[in-house]
Amino acid sequence: MPCTTILVGRLASNDGSTMIARTDDGHFDDKKLIVVKPKDQPKTYRSVISHVEIKLPPKPLRYTSCPSVNLEHGIWPATGINAANVGMTATETISSNPRVLGADPLVVRKKAEKEGEPEIPGGIGEEDIVTLVLPYIRSAREGVVRLGSLLEQYGTYESNGIAFNDENEIWWLETIGGHHWIAKRVGDEEVVVMPNQFGLDNFDFADAYGEQRTCMCSADLKEFMERNSLDLNTDGVFNPRWAFGSRRHHDHIYNTPRAWYMGRYLTPTRFRWDGPNADLTPESDNIPWAFVPEKKVTVEDVTFLLSSHYEGTPYDPYAASAEKKGIYRPIGINRTGVTGLCQIRSGVPDAVKGVEWICFASTTFGAFLPVYVNVPKMPEYLSNVTERVSTEDFYWTTRMLGALADPCYGASIMHIERYQNAIACRGREILSRYDREIAAGADVSLLERANEELCAMAKEETDACLSRVLRAACERMRNGYKRSDN
């Protein structure tokens, strides 16, 4: 999936929380938010795409999931937080190169060539990873260990990046070829930006093969590199991006501009981002994987970036007049199915540490709704989504909102901005109120009521915005005519 990921360390955030967030940019994949109970987790998992079968450990944890509504091509859970307050997002499709993929080919399912011959299953992929990992881990670090072992045993048929977070740590794992992997702990004071490219630009092999404080990798990664001459560094400092990633023209129009815009927002004065003497441009290959932001980062900063389309630059596709508008792939894009922000908070009771901020469809026109994850089920407004278009659920109403607002952007963006702000303000007020009640000793069952209140608020605001945007779109239909026009 061509997605965009942001990771925020606990000291980089305004409230000490860790945040991992990603736009799931499929092909208009209809999505919903559900809770998977331990009794509903399979004992043996079979992939729809690769047909690999994997026996799962006993005693899974409850977790949230954003599966596809149509399961024809698999579950595709996208993102979630489990009962141990560990979050996960999977996956960010990343780039690689022929040297890596030739040395360790992707594990693709091979159909039987003749009747009676067995097929050869493929490896694991984005369809599978959340289901295989999230219910069985109690820390972000454990997520890396479990996923790494699965990759080494079963392989993968695609190149992906996966994030895990708990209250204290964020870990980022990237696959290398079919069976190898590399992972790094995000610095507490750092924010990571990932736009569909191999991201890691530094790595400590001594730590990975030693204490593993901040680095981990497949056991033979260094030997694999040496055997296949993958290290391209000339100064003795290892850069994983050069070894395992790509530097193509396609990257310069599809990927690096997104990293440039996010870095420009996070560190506006540390680098020269614009003009003929810019330090970093939308097509630079050396945009850092991680930044120390110039101010504390909020949920609203993350949701703005994941909704952005190069506002304030010559590349904004909605700009009235811009010489280069639309030449780069924006972050907020039409085909997004769901965007999930997994926030694990500090300084609050364990029952309310995990909050998932959910936005369906195009983030440019949608709103991020917070919900508590420590519940046995999600409200129907989020979970009861079918393939039938309806204004009774958050997914389809948001999808309609974007489709109506896009053609009349100038007339509708005011309504969209007010709507997004209303959801954010009212959502935070509701969270704060229920946080206080739980801290005062209220039973955790109260969180179901909190989520119902959050969804009722979201439906009220979304329906009202849809009405206003529909009116703006109707007024600008091309078959409009008044006798007074003549």
| pLDDT of res. 114 | 83
Of the listed 3, 342, 455, 465, which one is catalytic?
3
230/323 same-domain check: yes
Whether 196 contacts 92, CB under 8 Å = yes
397/355 same-domain check: no
Q: What is the DSSP string of 100-138?
A: HHHHS-----B--SSTTPPPB---B-TTTHHHHHGGG-S
**Per the domain annotation, does 312 fall within a domain?**
yes
| pLDDT of res. 241 | 97
Q: Residue 134's closest CA among 80, 71, 55?
A: 80
Model confidence over 112-151: pLDDT tens digits? 888 888 999 999 999 999 999 999 999 999 999 999 999 9
272/414 same-domain check: no
Which helix (DSSP H) or strand (DSSP E) does residue 463 occupy?
helix 446-475
**Per the domain annotation, does 306 fall within a domain?**
yes
Q: What is the mean pLDDT of the chain?
A: 97
What percentage of the chain exceeds 70 in pLDDT? 99
**Per the domain annotation, does 371 fall within a domain?**
no
Average the pLDDT over 193-215 and give the result: 97
146/82 same-domain check: yes
Instruction: Please name the residue that has the structure tokens 């149509």.
Output: 70
Structural domain range at position 287: 4-364
**Per the domain annotation, does 369 fall within a domain?**
no
Instruction: Please name the residue that has the structure tokens 């000291």.
Output: 11
Whether 479 contacts 388, CB under 8 Å = no
Model confidence over 292-309: pLDDT tens digits? 999 999 999 999 999 999
Residues 169 and 187: their CA atoms lie apart, in Å, by 8
Query: Is residue 91 reached through a cis peptide bond, with omega within 30 degrees of 0 on the bond before it?
Result: yes
Whether 265 contacts 273, CB under 8 Å = no
**Per the domain annotation, does 195 fall within a domain?**
yes
Residue type, 200: L
| pLDDT of res. 101 | 98
336/425 same-domain check: no
352/426 same-domain check: no
pLDDT band at 485 (very low <50, low <70, confident <90, very high): low
**Per the domain annotation, does 376 fall within a domain?**
no
Cβ neighbours of residue 413 under 8 Å, at least 6 residues apart? 318, 405
| pLDDT of res. 1 | 58
345/404 same-domain check: no
Whether 252 contacts 196, CB under 8 Å = no
Whether 32 contacts 358, CB under 8 Å = no
Whether 6 contacts 18, CB under 8 Å = no
Q: How many domains does the chain have?
A: 2
326/418 same-domain check: no
Whether 425 sits among the annotated catalytic residues: the reply is no
**Per the domain annotation, does 296 fall within a domain?**
yes
**Per the domain annotation, does 25 fall within a domain?**
yes
Taking the C-alpha atoms of 96, 98, 103 and 105 in order, what is their torsion angle to the nearest 10 degrees?
A: 70
Residue type, 218: S
Average the pLDDT over 182-200 and give the result: 98
420/279 same-domain check: no
Residues 170 and 13: their CA atoms lie apart, in Å, by 13
Q: At what angle do helices 446-475 and 409-439 cross, to 10 degrees?
A: 170
Whether 469 contacts 401, CB under 8 Å = yes
Domain boundary among 331, 364, 397: 364
Residue 53 — φ and ψ, nearest 5°?
-115, 130
46 vs 116, residue with greater confidence: 46
Average the pLDDT over 380-384 and give the result: 98
Residues 184 and 216: their CA atoms lie apart, in Å, by 6
Model confidence over 402-413: pLDDT tens digits? 999 999 999 999
410/277 same-domain check: no
Taking the C-alpha atoms of 201, 204, 208 and 209 in order, what is their torsion angle to the nearest 10 degrees?
A: 140
356/409 same-domain check: no
436/393 same-domain check: yes
